[in-house]
Amino acid sequence: MEIRFEKADHLKEKPTGTLGFGKYYTDYMFVADWDAGQGWHDARITPYAPIMMDPATMVLHYAQETFEGLKAYKTDDGRVLMFRPEMNARRFINSNKRLSMATLPEEDFVQACESLVRVEKDWIPTGDGESLYIRPYMFATEKAVGVHPSRSYKFIIICSPVGAYYPEGVSPVKIYIEDEYTRATVGGTGFTKCGGNYAGSLKAQEKAEELGYTQVLWLDGVHRQYVEEVGSMNVMFKIDGKIITAPAGETVLPGVTRDSMIQLLKSWGYEVIEKHLDVNELMEAGKNGKLEEAWGTGTAAVISPIGELYYKGEKVTINGFKTGELTHKLYDTLTGIQWGRLEDKFHWTVEVK
Ligand code: COI
């Protein structure tokens, strides 16, 4: 893919102090357009700026929008690494196919991310746990109010220097198990990363926050009984020495961090069971002490220990609300590989030169 570069007149001041998550954006963005006649064209890295849209633009009405999230890391010796970008590229293709959108070839997705990161490498923060969050997304741009797949799309990548996703940092979070609203059903879009999935989740998130919980744990959409995922991460439980997580089927997002942690855990000799865990079994394990640890996995969330679960008025505390030993080991190993401090035995990182 040929990428044109448009130089900015002014560069922004870089933020100082605590970054938080998604508060600052870099100087440039990547943009490419697609239409049925030309396919992908006019790929460019251009100064970060607002997008002008016609009020009839289809994404505003029918929500054909998908996105991804990955990060670039600066190593102690100044190299720039990305973590498994090809996995995001493949998931993006699957999301776009499900939403009847244009698809972007895997190598073009990776090239676009790498090219933008190369331009923005001075924006990669180097504080503890800090990285450059990369947000590729695509949306329908045809002007039409009739319902049909759009005949044109825009693909954009923006970057944001970030720290921890949760205000708790890497301390345990409290999770609210939602028993009324649901996120996904078989045959739907649960396995995709589309904006609509997140819009539908906000109501429950509000409920959770009102009760003092950080995130929602979703149950399946048919029985409201089997554990699926948390709003911004996949979730894993250590029960009686074994690791249990929901299968990444039609209703659960196939997380890149999830997949990586399963590979790590198996390489350490753990039995990892991908199954539909009954929420009553989970709460019971919490009460009788068999639920030893719980954690979320995600690009934004990294490895996030879970210290408390709330379900239908009942609470269980996990590991005395302290980060468990295995959760710690997963966090240290994953971040060690991502920041180039540990050997990358799985060949997950890609250096941006
Ligand atoms: C990510 O982990 O990258 C996500 O996209 C989750 C979230 C910020 C919506």
Mean pLDDT taken over the chain: 97
CB neighbours (10 Å) of residue 258? 23
Region of 210 (left: φ > 0; alpha: ψ -120 to 50; beta: rest) is alpha
Angle 282-284-286 (CA atoms, 0-180°, nearest 5)? 70
Rounded to an integer, the average pLDDT of 234-243 is 98
Q: Is 232 in the pocket of ligand 1 (CB under 6 A)?
A: yes
> 101 CA distance to ligand 1 centroid (A)?
21
pLDDT for position 166: 82
Sign of CA dihedral 267, 268, 269, 273: negative
> 83 CA distance to ligand 1 centroid (A)?
14
Percent of the chain with pLDDT over 70: 100
pLDDT for position 207: 96
Q: Which atom of ligand 1 is nearest to the CA of 165?
A: 8
Q: How far apart are CA 44 and CA 138, in angstroms?
A: 15
Residue nearest atom 6 of ligand 1, based on CA coordinates: 232
pLDDT for position 9: 97
User: Alpha carbon of 195 to those of 2, 129, 137, 244: distances in Å?
Assistant: 28, 26, 10, 28
pLDDT for position 122: 98
pLDDT band at 64 (very low <50, low <70, confident <90, very high): very high
Rounded to an integer, the average pLDDT of 197-220 is 96
- Best mutation site among 159, 259, 299, 334 for ligand 1 pocket (most ligand atoms within 8 Å of CB): 299
pLDDT for position 198: 96
pLDDT above 90 for 163: yes
pLDDT above 80 for 167: no
Rounded to an integer, the average pLDDT of 249-256 is 96
Buried b (16+ CB within 10 A) or exposed e, 31-46: bbbbeeeeebeebebe
Q: How far apart are CA 261 and CA 243, in angstroms?
A: 11
pLDDT band at 164 (very low <50, low <70, confident <90, very high): confident
Q: How far apart are CA 281 and CA 314, in angstroms?
A: 14
Tens digit of each residue's pLDDT (9 = 90 or more) over 255-307: 999 999 999 999 999 999 999 999 999 999 999 999 999 999 999 999 999 99
pLDDT above 90 for 58: yes
pLDDT for position 257: 98
Residue nearest atom 5 of ligand 1, based on CA coordinates: 69
Q: Is 69 in the pocket of ligand 1 (CB under 6 A)?
A: yes
Q: Which atom of ligand 1 is nearest to the CA of 255?
A: 2
> 69 CA distance to ligand 1 centroid (A)?
6
Q: How far apart are CA 95 and CA 193, in angstroms?
A: 6
Contact 90, 132 (CB under 8 A): no
Contact 197, 229 (CB under 8 A): no
> 134 CA distance to ligand 1 centroid (A)?
10
pLDDT band at 203 (very low <50, low <70, confident <90, very high): very high
Q: Which two tokens stand for residue 23?
A: 């508060």
> 37 CA distance to ligand 1 centroid (A)?
33
pLDDT above 80 for 169: no
Going by C-alpha positions, the residue among 219, 209, 232, 227 that lies closest to residue 178 is 219
> 225 CA distance to ligand 1 centroid (A)?
25
Contact 183, 218 (CB under 8 A): yes
Q: How far apart are CA 76 and CA 341, in angstroms?
A: 8
Q: Which atom of ligand 1 is nearest to the CA of 301?
A: 2
Buried b (16+ CB within 10 A) or exposed e, 58-92: bbeebebbbbbbbbbbbbeeeebbbbbbebbbebb
pLDDT for position 302: 95
Percent of the chain with pLDDT over 90: 97
Which residue's structure tokens are 């539909």?
A: 276
Tens digit of each residue's pLDDT (9 = 90 or more) over 80-121: 999 999 999 999 999 999 999 999 999 999 999 999 999 999
Rounded to an integer, the average pLDDT of 122-140 is 97
Q: Which atom of ligand 1 is nearest to the CA of 22?
A: 8
Q: How far apart are CA 308 and CA 301, in angstroms?
A: 17
> 301 CA distance to ligand 1 centroid (A)?
7
Q: Is 85 in the pocket of ligand 1 (CB under 6 A)?
A: no
pLDDT above 80 for 232: yes
Residue type for 150, please?
A: S
Rounded to an integer, the average pLDDT of 212-232 is 96
Tens digit of each residue's pLDDT (9 = 90 or more) over 331-346: 999 999 999 999 999 9
